[in-house]
Chains A and B, each alone.
Chain A
Amino acid sequence: MVNGRQLHFHLAGINNQNFIMRDEETGSWWQQVSGECIQGALKGAKLKPILHDELTFAVWKRENPNGRVLRPDPKILQAGEYESADWEQKVGKMPVRVSQELDNTFEPRTLIIGINVNGETKAYPISALEKQSPIIDKLGGREIVVVLGDDKKSVRAFERTVDGRALEFFVRPDVSQFEMTDAETGSVWDFTGKAVSGELAGKQLTKISVLKEYWFDWKTYNPNTRIYNLGNL
């Protein structure tokens, strides 16, 4: 929605390996990753981002038993044109040819979790999260926690301040369904950020949007991004 008008988008081009969409209504071009209009009548407008998750089916259906799932187009499915399950690995090997100078902190196609809190941005390499979850951090003046799900694929981030007190979390490694415990009260929290037992039962942590992205693209659109270092663990 822009200025009270509903727009319909189509794939329309590529800008430095992030796609451009065109709206049917004005023919303007929009950058996919930023939601910003880059050419045409609506240039400068921005789509409002919606809090979303990137989860495995297993985790999502457990949390949303009444949800609905986009069906594949039968013709495209039959023709075998949908991407394969190892799609991410295949794209990871594709070349990166862009006009901006690449930052060589990581390989361009290193997968990171990008987080923006109050305009302050930070990249957390997935490999760091695989070694250390939860990651307890501070960003944009907020105390945050980044966690990897029990499927080792889904990632979420939360503000970890509850009733004015910042909590420290530990993830229990020996359980089949994600559980984390806060050091302050020993309450147990699930993957949706809800306390399910203990003193804080019923409390809900505020979710923060996370974006799973390639390092080069994140750095292009967030040039001042900070980087999470695992340190000498």
Chain B
Amino acid sequence: MRSKTVLWLALLSVVVTAFLFIFVPVWLIKPFSPQTPGDLATAFALKSWSPVVTELAAILTVGMTVWLWRNSKRGWSKAILIVPLFIVMGCVWFARQNHFEWMFNPLANSTYAKIDQTDFVDDDDMLMTVEINGESAAYPIRQMAYHHVVGDIVGGVPVAATY
């Protein structure tokens, strides 16, 4: 085989690997699908390694792209080299994202209202509430069903309110 063909195949497998490290965990832990403990272990391992793996893939891809670019004469085969580079860079970026927080933005700086200033909750709305060391805090369900997790310190105790 010509070295150029070999390099094209290598480039393809690097891109596919990077893509799988991104796509498989997203697929396994998607909502409204069943998960087995094995699925979770796989998703966690791939997700944990994805930043390093995609970076390595990016370095290899850039190297191979440069070589193939120099050794390509036809314009279209140069142009097509953009595609794997684009996909791998996308993977590098996604490995550093939490796509669940795209849909449900985290509450970066939680602020609280006294009861007489609470005009955003109706009397029959449900709240999750805690009382620790004499301090009472409430987390409206309608907000919690969106954010799902809010960190707080109540009565000196760090708590994670989750719903």
Which A residues are closer than 8 A to B by beta carbons? Answer: 1, 6-17, 19-22, 27, 29, 32, 38-40, 47, 50-58, 60-61, 64-73, 75-77, 81-85, 87, 94-95, 97-100, 151, 153
Across the A-B interface, give the 5 residue pairs with the lowest CB-CB distance, nearest first.
Answer: A67-B136, A99-B34, A13-B29, A39-B44, A68-B112
B interface size (C-beta, 8 A): 65
**B121 and A57 contacting across the interface, CB-CB below 8 Å:** yes
**B127 and A54 contacting across the interface, CB-CB below 8 Å:** yes
**Contact partner, B146, options A10, A64, A76, A95, Cβ 8 Å:** A76
Pairs A–B under 8 Å by Cβ, sample size 16: A11-B101, A21-B160, A29-B40, A29-B44, A40-B48, A51-B130, A53-B130, A54-B141, A56-B126, A57-B126, A68-B137, A70-B111, A82-B146, A97-B32, A97-B34, A100-B34
Give Cα A215 to B126, complex, Å: 20
**B40 and A56 contacting across the interface, CB-CB below 8 Å:** no
Residues on B with C-beta less than 8 A from A75 are 105
**A8 and B151 contacting across the interface, CB-CB below 8 Å:** yes
**Contact partner, A64, options B48, B129, B140, B149, Cβ 8 Å:** B129
**B131 and A64 contacting across the interface, CB-CB below 8 Å:** yes
Which B residues are closer than 8 A to A by beta carbons? Answer: 25, 29-36, 39-41, 43-44, 48, 98, 100-101, 104-107, 110-115, 118, 120-132, 136-143, 145-152, 157-163
Closest to B45 in A: A39
Give Cα A81 to B31, complex, Å: 18
Q: Say how far B163's CB is from chain A's closest CB, in angstroms.
A: 8
Residues on A with C-beta less than 8 A from B160 are 7, 9, 21, 47
**A1 and B146 contacting across the interface, CB-CB below 8 Å:** no
**A84 and B127 contacting across the interface, CB-CB below 8 Å:** no
Of A1, A9, A69, A94, most buried by chain B (CB within 10 Å of CB) is A69
Q: Say how far B122's CB is from chain A's closest CB, in angstroms.
A: 7
Q: Say how far A20's CB is from chain B's closest CB, in angstroms.
A: 7
Q: Say how far B94's CB is from chain A's closest CB, in angstroms.
A: 14
